Amino acid sequence: MEKVEINTDTIQLDQFLKWTGAVESGGQVKMMLEDELIFVNDVLETARRKRLKNGDVVKITDIGSWQVVTKGE
């Protein structure tokens, strides 16, 4: 699992996945959500604008996983 530092207290799921380089667009995130490939803290996610905070773990089936780390934590 890769730790990804953000500069804010929270970040939207679609923005976070673009930040990590896992996807190129919000449209890709939407398709992955529809295909039930994205999990946040081991729970299937359905909202691409889900607010992530420090410590949250995002997993995409067969692609990878990332942990949100806020700057200074």
Q: What is the pLDDT of residues 26-71, one digit of tens each?
A: 889 999 999 999 999 999 999 989 999 999 999 999 999 999 999 8
Of 46, 38, 8, nearest to 22 by C-alpha is: 38
Show the CA angle centred on residue 50, arms to residues 44 and 54, nearest 5°.
Answer: 95
CATH number of 2-70: 3.10.290.10
Domain definitions of the chain by residue range: 2-70
Per-residue confidence band for 73, with pLDDT thresholds at 50, 70 and 90: low
Are the C-beta atoms of 35 and 28 separated by less than 8 Å?
no
Spell 49-63 as b/e; 16+ CB within 10 A means b: ebebeeebebbbeee
